A and B are shown apart, each in its own frame.
Chain A
Amino acid sequence: MTLHLEDLLKQFPQSGFTLGPLNLDLKAGSRLALFGKNGAGKTTLFQLMTGHMTADSGTIEIFGQRMNPSSFELKKRIGYLPQHLELPRWVSAYDLITYAMKLYQFDDLEARRKAVLERWDASYYANKPLGACSYGMQKRVGLALATLHNPELLILDEPFSGLDLFHIRTLEDLLAERSDSQLTIVSTHVASHVAKLCDRAMTVNQGRLEEVEAWNSATFMERLDLMEEQFFPKQQRKSP
């Protein structure tokens, strides 16, 4: 099992919000879309999965190992793009990607850097301070950081926001290229982005995970309907 959550629980006493207890098993090769209303707990779940937040109780196992936030062997197999992307202001994309590659202990820095900058169409602003780059440009650098080591588990929190159509296509191509030995989890509010890419979908509703039934066998249009139904159950829909 690539990702295994067992009775995972996180409570926020100040706001009264509780995520979990969650149980989930995900195998390599699947692409999971995660939906949910704002504040439902998607980002918290991602932060727990990636070791950026500690759970109150329960277990997170990734590739058969318990999550240890400071295990390099484990973390180098995970790629993560946070929802609220913050990048250092006084460095360039070139600097940040070099820094990341050196921390990942890569050898062929020049070739890899060139490839990743070209893939994300970032070569033309690679030497500009990130503080002077637009949100979309920074987002592409964030995506480059999350994917440059071709991780086995890729977790993307709202990856499409801020991207233009051209770069949305780049991201869709990248997700489509991921192999059967890799697991991808994407959260988004735009159904069409994941309806054609993801073979499984779940919703986070009041801190609980629910599988979207029939997603796998549904057509593209049916998937859009299925997702809409998660937010607007049929009995609540108003006729136009």
Chain B
Amino acid sequence: MSIFRSLRLVGYHNKQFFLKLRYDLGRELVVLISSVVLLGLFAYIFRDFLNDKLRAIPHAEQVSIARAFATVILLLIGPVIAAPIHSLWRDEPSLRSFAFRSGESPAAIKAFLLIQSLILMAFAYFMYWRFIGIPWGKWSSESVWLWQNLSLALGVLRLILHREKPAKTFKPLLDDRASTRVHTLFAWRWKQIFLRNRLAKLCLGIAFFLQLASGALLLLHAPFPLAILIAMGSGLLIACAPSFQLQEDMRAIWFERQIACSHEEYVAVYQKICVRLAVGFGLTAVIIGFATRGFLHPEETLKLFVITALFPLLLPAVMFQIAAERPSLQIMTIALIGLFLGTAIFAHWGAVALLPIALTYAKQYQQNNFYRS
């Protein structure tokens, strides 16, 4: 019976996952414990400040904000879970390709892929509804149906984006004009982020959309902390773009090493990229802020600039701290540090002084890791 063979493949696949988890357990536990400790510390330090801000928001608005965040997370589940499903169906080498080459029937392999995809989706959505969806919001059956299907549709969209396009030709990325080595290193990455790297482009697009959404909410007199929270989200997405480019770079980093690119040059290139992104998107955030709120609280609106810019500015300081080829770890690190610094800056302008200290310390800590990564 091919279904039993499919189930056996499902068993092998999941056993493989747990073996890998056990192999990396030390590192994964360190990351998990550090994250929990940092989040706990964050809650402890900023508890009073956050409670004050929360109290200022009427209860009905608090409920809608919580529901809106629960909805955003639900929408994100689809695209997030699409990545492992895509790997399952397409990656080489994989259990699927091994089974196929070993003579396993295509029907059994297809059933295995379907069952495993369903397991992944069921797990992700169960965890969501159990820990976020139900505790954070009240949902009618129609809204569950609507948002759940939208989330699945976004997942399908990501799968379509992931699909290898038929070979097409590219226009030249660089021109033939003479330039310095650092400028060439910069232009190579900068143009890839905007013209070639689909994930980077998607992140920047969503970040800009979030900024527009924030402007629309401010026009509707939504509470300002919500705009700050959205600025943090869009800042994190902006930081994701160079982080995904770095992951792409690390695939073929032997060439830059062969051509004697130094650690300082490489970090300086990412610094330049991140500063440009930070200033560009920071300015859009603040312009949208002033356009929608007016000049009533200018010093508060200016915080939108700093908080949006903060996240991409952190990337050059953390890019060689853990694993340059793993954007998920970098994004998590940036999210945690950004949450701390962003909230501190929101609480008091003086916290801006922490930024250069944190950046200098982190850059020193990763000195020369370009050739070790």
Contact = CB atoms under 8 A, between A and B. Distances in A.
Interface stretch (B26-34, B175-183, B212-220, B278-286): B175-183
B262 A70 contact: yes
A89 B251 contact: yes
A145 B255 contact: yes
A69 B164 CA distance: 36
Contacts of B258: 50, 52, 75, 78, 80
A102 interface: yes
Contact of B371 (A54, A102, A105): A54
A89 B167 CA distance: 12
B260 A75 contact: yes
Given A88-B252, A90-B192, A99-B184, A128 B176 contact: no
Contact of B169 (A54, A70, A128): A128
B197 interface: yes
B159 interface: no
B260 A91 contact: no
A74 B257 CA distance: 12
Interface in A17-65: 50-52, 54
B260 A72 contact: yes
Contacts of A98: 172-174, 176
B287 interface: no
Interface string A88-100: 1111101100111
Interface residues of B, number: 34
Contact of B259 (A86, A89, A103): A103
A32 B95 CA distance: 40
Interface residues of A, number: 39
B300 interface: no
B185 A52 contact: no
Contacts of B188: 99
Given A98-B176, A109-B176, A132-B164, A71 B251 contact: no
12 contacts: A70-B261, A70-B263, A74-B260, A76-B260, A88-B192, A95-B170, A99-B173, A99-B174, A100-B255, A103-B181, A110-B176, A145-B255
Interface of A: 50-52, 54, 69-72, 74-76, 78, 80, 82, 86-92, 94-95, 98-100, 102-105, 107, 109-110, 127-129, 131-132, 145
Interface of B: 164, 167-174, 176, 178-179, 181, 184-185, 188, 192, 196-197, 248-249, 251-252, 254-255, 257-263, 371-372
